[in-house]
Chains A and B, each alone.
Chain A
């Protein structure tokens, strides 16, 4: 039986072994960052959400041993409790289905928010340690989701019943794209435990081109809400897919890049995401798409987020080569392989999206021609956004590029 105490002990041990969270092993940092006053209200709200779910699906929580989740002390950050509630939404929805696939393991899932700042990779990940399946949600994932959706919303506007990609001028580079580039280029020299100025801030101060790079402070608009909620939920669904299928590590104790297992997790993740779409709809209702079509945004933005980041990484590598900066042949080869894997998964998931459209029509849900046009315009805009990333990187002046690279050179690893 899982208890808050057991979760604390096992997670601490896992972090001591594998370094999953830079803050977990630092008592001073934990005191500063965990359970801040604004977290308490958020944690309470998420527990209320879980209580609503328990009222609707009591059997799920009892059978799968999730009573521990209702103890507020198990949550360190409001986002952590929020992500767990969203995972429960998905798990309990699928668990309730009479015709769900057999042999799925619904229990022992614990979400942990970490202060990992590495941006490559930054996506959530799944680890089983001493029979607890931790879904690790790094800070850098929330950061990159915010920046990419903000950058997209900066350039793509709603026009009547469609979305339209429109750069203000040919040379325009969104300040949010600049911030993404800056974080990527300075990442090796940035760590939450290192004293001194964030290298990204140093570059902003010294560089003309990067001076307007920003995270922004404006409230999220409806398009950002649609994309960020869909993306985070689909990412959670993908990781839950690994857990439900009991994907284990191989004899060398790593699961890294087993392509078949990633595609299996995509497929089951899609089922989880689609089955639980109802609650999410209240949050993302204000946009062009009707209920049936909104579900399709999840798999689309999940894979496009990866496409965008792959494009940026490839463009940066090319810029380094064109600037006669030494690059690793091994890294180039690995990146090509990652791009190829990513495209294969994208095609498979878009086939699922097409099948889903057919099934919701068969069930009598609304997916009108207006929806089809709006969804196509969104997908087209995402593809055009992807295309604009390469010239954005190429427009970095040589001086500013070298400045960012110098600021990003690791003091420790060289």
Chain B
């Protein structure tokens, strides 16, 4: 379970960068690379590969849509993170921290995330 201080750090752009979050995501992936590389890029790769699956469960959710129009206040963002984390597929959420994935999506912006990659 992610503690409150960590969650607030993830959500607040004054306390963490997007790369910080993506790096934390990358180190949860159980792959061993032959040589070192940029962890933030690896984190990006994970989100983009899972984008379609995440869009299916998040972008049509009425609860997410309601929350995504709230203010930029931290408390509202934390509520949105909780809603999104609860929608993340179980297998994905068990292996990688669902709250972290949700925090990344909130930092990206739900509308921007849901409109990205459209063919």
Binding-face segment, B38-46, B58-66, B67-75, B77-85:
B38-46
- Chain A residues within 8 Å of B29, by CB: 18-19, 254
A interface residues (Cβ-Cβ under 8 A, vs B): 13, 15-22, 25-26, 116, 118, 120-129, 136, 187-188, 191, 193-195, 235, 238-239, 242, 247, 249, 252-258, 261-262, 265, 302, 306, 309, 328, 330-331, 334, 337-338, 341-342, 410-414
Q: Pick the residue among B34, B36, B41 that contacts A188 (CB under 8 A).
A: B41
Q: How many residues of B contact A (CB 8 A)?
A: 44
Closest chain-B Cβ to A17's Cβ sits at a distance in Å of 5
B53: Cβ under 8 A from any A Cβ = yes
CB–CB B89/A16 < 8 A = yes
Closest chain-B Cβ to A279's Cβ sits at a distance in Å of 22
Q: Pick the residue among B39, B46, B119 that contacts A18 (CB under 8 A).
A: B46
How long is the Cα–Cα vector from A247 to B30 in the complex, in angstroms? 11
CB–CB A413/B49 < 8 A = no
Given A17-B91, A120-B37: A328 and B17 interface contact (C-beta under 8 Å): yes
CB proximity to A under 8 Å, residues B60-119: 89, 91-92, 95-96, 108, 112-113, 116-119
Q: Pick the residue among A235, A255, A261, A309 that contacts B31 (CB under 8 A).
A: A255
CB–CB B36/A338 < 8 A = yes
Given A16-B91, A193-B51: A121 and B32 interface contact (C-beta under 8 Å): no
- Chain B residues within 8 Å of A249, by CB: 30
- Chain B residues within 8 Å of A242, by CB: 32
- Chain B residues within 8 Å of A261, by CB: 32
CB–CB A122/B37 < 8 A = yes
**Best-buried of A19, A191, A328, A410 by chain B (most CB within 10 Å):** A19
CB–CB A121/B38 < 8 A = yes
CB–CB B118/A127 < 8 A = no
Closest chain-A Cβ to B29's Cβ sits at a distance in Å of 5
How long is the Cα–Cα vector from A401 to B37 in the complex, in angstroms? 22
- Chain A residues within 8 Å of B14, by CB: none
Q: Pick the residue among B36, B89, B117 that contacts A257 (CB under 8 A).
A: B36
CB–CB B22/A413 < 8 A = yes
How long is the Cα–Cα vector from A174 to B49 in the complex, in angstroms? 32
Q: Pick the residue among B27, B108, B112, B117 that contacts A256 (CB under 8 A).
A: B27
- Chain B residues within 8 Å of A116, by CB: 45, 49
CB–CB A118/B117 < 8 A = no
Closest chain-A Cβ to B24's Cβ sits at a distance in Å of 11
CB–CB B41/A25 < 8 A = no
Closest chain-A Cβ to B101's Cβ sits at a distance in Å of 10
CB–CB A22/B27 < 8 A = no
Q: Pick the residue among A13, A252, A330 that contacts B91 (CB under 8 A).
A: A13
CB–CB B108/A412 < 8 A = yes
CB–CB B32/A25 < 8 A = no
- Chain B residues within 8 Å of A411, by CB: 116
How long is the Cα–Cα vector from A21 to B42 in the complex, in angstroms? 12
How long is the Cα–Cα vector from A136 to B108 in the complex, in angstroms? 28
Q: Which 8 A-B pairs have the closest CB atoms?
A: A121-B37, A19-B49, A338-B36, A123-B34, A255-B32, A19-B46, A125-B31, A19-B50
With both beta carbons as reference points, the residue of chain B lying nearest to A258 in the complex is identified as B32
CB–CB A413/B44 < 8 A = yes
How long is the Cα–Cα vector from A265 to B36 in the complex, in angstroms? 14
How long is the Cα–Cα vector from A187 to B37 in the complex, in angstroms? 13
- Chain B residues within 8 Å of A125, by CB: 31-34
Q: Pick the residue among B26, B45, B49 that contacts A25 (CB under 8 A).
A: B49
CB–CB A121/B49 < 8 A = no
